[in-house]
Structure 1
Amino acid sequence: MTACIEPYVQRFVFTPAVAQTFAQITSQNSTLYKGMDYNASSTPPGDLTITLSNGYTTNITNDELFTLRRGSDQYGRYAITNNTVVEAGISDNRARSPASQTPTLGGLFLTFNYLVMDYENNQFRLAPAVARDAQTGSSLTTVCTPTATPSASPSPAPAPPPANHTAAKVGGVVGGVAGLALIAAAIAFVLFRRRRRQRQDRTEIQPSMPEMDSPVMGPRTMSDANTLRSPMSRWDSVEAPASEKKHVSEVYEMPASRPPVEMADSRNTID
């Protein structure tokens, strides 16, 4: 049987025939329990031994092969959800088609084995994981040819880039033009405000001329044509003083016809 190593999958995945054989050997009761589940009081004994074609052998212990059912508890934590049922670390694919199954050595296999990658020789191999007490230390094994790493020589400091005088000049010119434009705008604003204020002051100081009614002279009658009267007597809208009223009332009318005037050196009478 050809299998692949997949750390993402936790359980072993065998062919349906191998899974059926494992269930028969461990007396799995498919009527009482689904999948590869067993009663915790009658956990199957023994370990699982896997031997590869090159002779490499690994042993999966019973306490890791059969564990209490785990899952998410009421708080969402991964914990034991049923302490009366144990489940085997083997996927139950007995009812699946053999063509749809890919034998896989999952995370449970890597719990007992290291996958050693030798990139220099383009090789990979397995090494058994040896459980040791942290207080006793560890024994490291060299898996590649050590080579001395050459010390890096200090690199020379990069030369400072040449100053860009053209950019500085252009920036100075642009800045000067912008400054002059701002000053001119400020002066124009001040002059505009001053002229506007002067116009307002002139409008407030200039008095308003009262409107006068022009005197209207009353109509004259035909008898007034030969009458010498003061024009003020015909202005109805102007009240004359008392002295002037007396003077106006004493105006005499001249007779319409005058007596003939006798000339000393003439006998004719001039009418």
Structure 2
Amino acid sequence: MTCANTSPPLGLGWENVTVSNDGQAISRGIALAIGNPQQIVSLRLSVGDDNTWVFNNADCVSSSNDSCIGLKGGVFDFKASHTYSPTLEASWNGSHDASITDGSYIFFNDQIRFGINGTAYGFPLYMDQPGQGTQSGLGMGPGSTFQTAAVESGSAPSKAWGLWVGSRSVVQPVDGALWIGGYDTNRIGGDFLDFTTYDRCPTCVEITNITYEYPGGSASLFSNSSETLSISLEPFQRALNVPEDIFLNFARVSNGTVGTDPGTQALLTYPPDAQFGNLTITLKNGQDGYQTTTPAQELFLPPRNFNSQGQYAITNDTYLLAGLANATVKPGYVFDWGIPFLTMNYLIVDYEQKKFSLAPALRGPYGVSNGALVQPPCSGLAPTSTTAAASPTASTITTAQPTVTVTPSPLPIRHSSTNVGAIVGGVVGGVGGLLVIAILLFFLVRSRQREKAARTDRAAAIAEVHESGAKNERLSQVSCYRPRCQIILTLAKFTGTSPTEVSEMGANNNMEHWLYTQSGNYEVSVSFGPDVRKGVRLGESLNPADSDALN
């Protein structure tokens, strides 16, 4: 597979991100800055979704409710963003996958910033229903709009990605990292084994055995040797979900007690001084299988939640909770396995090659390796020694726009007769000027004839823009050169109209570039005509994923 561009892999840290204006609320995830001025949110990665979603600030009622803001991974105040543009679901340019078919959402477009210099304008997002869900999510499914934006903006060389979620161990927590267009070889402690991706379940795999190894013995959590369990590897999930029979078998062999506190009824509790064991899982992979072990320090943790200051803290130190959860799913759906499993394994996903790969992960700090050594999965790039981008903070993010490389328009810019006369008067003199003026008058007459012939084209192009919702004052220049026309739309710097609005004006137009000018205005060059290709809708999903099985 050849890289789409020469950009190095995009590294995004999975780490603590400050998400409240008072600097108190901290949420672990991948940082994203939305809007103008920018608002920072912390996202958990989801392979069961193609779209990125955030929470409305009204969900936490008050901007000082740090406990709620931390839990949500930050909230988005759409009224504060000058580039926010709501839209109907039918005209929204996100992925219309199964995750948005149920419920009521607010669909919108806005600019986002990610990593060090990554920027995408008119990016599709939606806001979740009030009171629903836990943390905002970064959709990384087969039709991921974020992967598309990262590659098309030149921020990543391919849509394949590598992930280590980090460790949430109380004893030695370690930050993780997502690499789009690459994977970190310094986090890999063994050989990769490949698994096949499925259209509606991209990281599904079958477990053939789960063994609990405790001091003095071991026991399988399966009731018989022929039993298997189908799961989906889901970074968004914080637990390992299992059916009730496996849950009860685990309770028996580990001497666990079903929790009674709110939020713990589907978990097992243990006294802090209990003797704990490890969980060994065998995945089906050809004849040999893939075996991995989650140790006690990653499996048994104290209950934690967000306190009034928005800090993720221990809420009760009198017991520990196991990361194995009692869950039920709809018939035909699978169980999600999240962070306790992925902490021990490095994950690479390549939808184009229809595979994902697992290898044992090195959990400790980098130490002598001194950072990541990133290998692109596509050809044409060399490995890069680097580190994942630090999360943006209020002090490091500015409202200055990045430099945008603009492709010059192939269409000629017309000049009026007044401009021609001024130029001629400045350079022509003497007797020879009469001859030059005569020649220019000839070309001026021909120009007026062409202009007259193009009036119909110009009128049609303007009418199409008006039908698409653009206002008259935004039309600063119209140029036609049959059979094509070019329109320059000048928008105020702080405008509610996003680039996506312009790009969806019709089937026979193409937004060629966004330009941030020194005068503080945005200019959009749009070409009309039969030879202009139709723009691709950002994030269209060819293989929608079933996200009903996620939570």
Q: TM-score, normalised by structure 2?
A: 0.26
Judging by fraction of residues, say which structure has more helix.
1
- Structure with more relative contact order (C-alpha pairs < 8 Å, separation 6 or more): 2
Query: Which of structures 1 and 2 has the bigger CA Rg?
Result: 1
